[in-house]
Structure formats: structure tokens, C-alpha cells
Structure 1
Amino acid sequence: MVLALLVLLVVWKTGGFSSTPARVADCAYTSVDAGSGVTDVGKPPTNDVVKNGVKTMTISLGQGTVTAKLDPSKAPCTVNSFTYLAGKNFFNNTTCHRVTDAILQCGDPSATGSGGPAYRFPNENVPSPMAPSAAPSADAAPSADASTNALYPMGTIAMAHSAQPDSNSSQFFLVFKDVQYPADYTVFGTITGGLDVLQKIGQTGTADGSADGKPKEDVKISSLTVTDTAPDESQPTPVPSTSAAPSTAPGTSAAPSAGTPSSKS
């Protein structure tokens, strides 16, 4: 009994029962050549990367504020990158360059779809593909890669990337209506407030009236911060609606495949 008490005392004094963040040191941020659209602010640290807890991202747009809960336990390298870039004011005074009826894509300082920091990093926490329907309707005409699609529910925050592997940078997309995209995008957070703001932006549409393009009204990020506090999740959540045929998937640096988020850098 005395030995057990001594062990407990040692554990308590050394922080064994504390909430000290678990950390990981295996994030790989690969340098890219400086060029058009590249904003070099260095690379995130790779030592002592936090791998647990909760972070809050706050995005101040001209149309309103969006808040999100980031999950380092599922996407530690992505959250580490966002925390680093936010600390460098990388996203401040940037314009979101793309909107569809389901997503808003932001994070490119050049607002062209080809910009980002001077590094790239691999995917993590990609969703699982949806199981094919057991009894598809006779008139269904799924796309050739439908079996690789995943559902990105309303409220998802995920990274956009190019067709090249390991090409995540700073571009991300905010999902305000359920949508299907290839199961190839890192999911790193959940929107906790401001879905109504995003849905109004989506309803306003694109500058050229197309289903996928530059927002009709400028959507500018005045500031984007990441803090170690848990977000307020008391706001009501709008009723989701599903988009089974996404309009261009999010990406960065390659002509996006129809219906997916892509970036051009």
C-alpha cells in the first residue's frame, strides 16, 4: 500500500496525470521553389507537434465570422501548419477565390488558385470512400470514379490540393452543404459557427453566373487566428442538404477535375 502511494505521488509530481499535450515529430514539410503566387514565410516546426486537444480557428470575413474546431489528434501536421501560418498572419487580408453551391475555397494570398507558402505536405485523415449502393436505380449514371468518392458533410473543413501527390499547402475549403468528392482531401476540422454566413455567400453565386468560380461579391478574410481554446458550439446548425454531383473538387495547382476542390500550385 505504501509503495502504491509512493508511485502515485511520483506520477503526480512528474505530471503523469496532467493534460500536457501529446506530441509527434514526423511531419514532413517539403520546400518548393519560390515563384508566382508563392509567399515564403518559412516552414512550420517539426519538433513537438501537438497531437491532441482542441484548437479554435476564427475566420473574420466581410460577410461575418466563421468559427471552427480543429482536431490535432486526427490531422496533427495540418493543424500544425495552420497554426504556424496563422501566427505569421499569412491569411490576413486575403480573398477567397472560389465558390460553388456547396463549398467556399480560401487560403491563397494571390487569389488565383495557384498561390500558397513555400512548402507542401502529405495528406492525412482522408475520409473513407462510400460503399456502392446494393441496388442502384436503373437510370443512375454514376461517374467513372464514383466508387472512390466520399461524403464531405456540411460543416467539414478540408485541405485543397493539386493533382500531384503530397501537395497540400495553405488552400482549404469550407463545406456548407453535403457534397461528394474523391476520398483524397485531408479533413482537419469542423465548423462550429457561421454556417449561415457561408450559405449566404453560396446563394449569392459566382461572378460569371457559373456553378463554380470566383464569388460574385468579394469574400475577404480580414483575419484568421488559431487558438488553443475550445470553440463555443452553442450556435444552431442549419438543416443539411446533399449535393450528389459536386461541381469541381477543391484543389491547388492543377486544373481541377469536375466536381472537386483543386489548386493550381
Structure 2
Amino acid sequence: MGRVFVIVLAMWIALASPAAAQAGRIPSSRFEGWTSAIIAADWRDGRGRPIEAFDNARRDLVKGFLGAGFPRATMVDYSLRPDAPTPATPQIVLDGLYDAATRGSAGCLLYFTSHGVPTAMVFGDAPRMTPDMMVNIVRRACGARPTVVIVSACYSGIFVNTLSAPNRMVLTAASRERTSFGCGADETYPWFDGCVIEALPSATDFLALAAGARACVARKEQEHAVALPSEPQLFVGSEMQLRLPTLRFNRPTG
């Protein structure tokens, strides 16, 4: 019996090795089966003129989260820009999100980048997305799964209370009373999105990502002498407090 146990243990260790994971015998990421959606929900500056910052962020956030271990097979990304190579309507975005959620049932990452007003977030040319609308989308797509919702927009703190639940983490670019920055024609990304992109390569998990992004935003605002900082908000539900440290991002090894 002892000899059989040793053989079985040796086989398990071999299958659990990085080489075995790369060969596809076991999942190579803790995010196998997670649905992820990254949505650029606006394409204009404050005067309605087209800008590239939101779409730049969508493109490079996709790269960053793929590198962190989120599978492409259950990831969708959309631009609501009318002249995008593959233009999407708000309904196409929601249908695509719900379809992806049927293919990846282990967890959810939803990331929105857009403009915001004190009561809602711009969602293309559809009616603006209120907190009640957002929570209904999250409930339908993600249910009781572990869920991370990131909202990059002015006044995005309005979503925190409504989205708060034990199975969720919510990270926003600003408090409910504050604007965020970087949505102009001369910016590569909105500042918050740029800070998430900057923090992703070294972050070990979502908690480290939130800390890195918030520190980066504070640094940028100090460098630009911003009078009223955006105050990014973070909520972590009781279930997620235990789960998030175990959901570690993929990182290159020596």
C-alpha cells in the first residue's frame, strides 16, 4: 500500500508541475472558466468630439488581463464607437456578455470605461446606465459567482453601494462626488485606466492591482496639482476577502 501511495503521489506532483500545466493536462490559470468583459462605453470628450483614450484602454486592458491569466475563449471586449472596425450597439454588448457568461461559469470580471455624471454612466447612445441598471446586468450575467466589477468614469462611486454583495469586489475610478481625469484628445488613456494597465504586470492579485492603481492615480494627481482628487473607491465583500488572495495572477517565472 505504501509503495502504491508513493507512486500515485509522484504522478500527482508531475501533473501539477508547470510543464504539465503548459501541456494542457491541468488548468494553467486560476481564472480558467471565468467570464471577462472589457467595454469602452464612450468615444467622445466632454464636448462630444471623438477621442481615442477609451478604445486605447480597452485594447491594452485586454492584453493586460490576458497576460494575468484570463482566457480569451471566455473574454469579450467591445467598443461602442460607431466607426469602430466592428461597431457594437449597447444591445450587442449585453447579448455578448450574457453569452460569454454561459461559457464561463467560474467567476466574472466586468470592466467599463466611459464618462460619468452624478447619477449614471454613459453607455453609448443608449440611456445612461444607472446603478440599478448596472446591478441587474451583473446579477443576470454573474449571479452568485465570485465577481469583480471595475468602473472607470467620473462619479463612478455611485455604483459601489448598489453593487455591494458578499461575492463581489467593486473598484471605481472616483468617489460619488468626484470627477476622474484623462479623457481628453491629448491623453493615451483615462488616467485610472492607464494606472490599471501600469499596475497589471507586477500585481499578484486583484487586491494588489487595486492598491497599485490607486497609488498611481494619487501620484498623477499630485504631479498635475489636481485640486480635488478623484478618490478611487474599493469595496470587497466578505466572501471575496477570503477568496481574492487565492486568485493570483499569472506571472512570468525566472
Q: Given the two structures, how large is their TM-score scaled by the length of structure 2?
A: 0.27
Q: Given the two structures, how large is their TM-score scaled by the length of structure 1?
A: 0.26
Query: Between Structure 1 and Structure 2, which shows a larger proportion of strand residues?
Result: 1
Query: Between Structure 1 and Structure 2, which shows a larger proportion of helix residues?
Result: 2
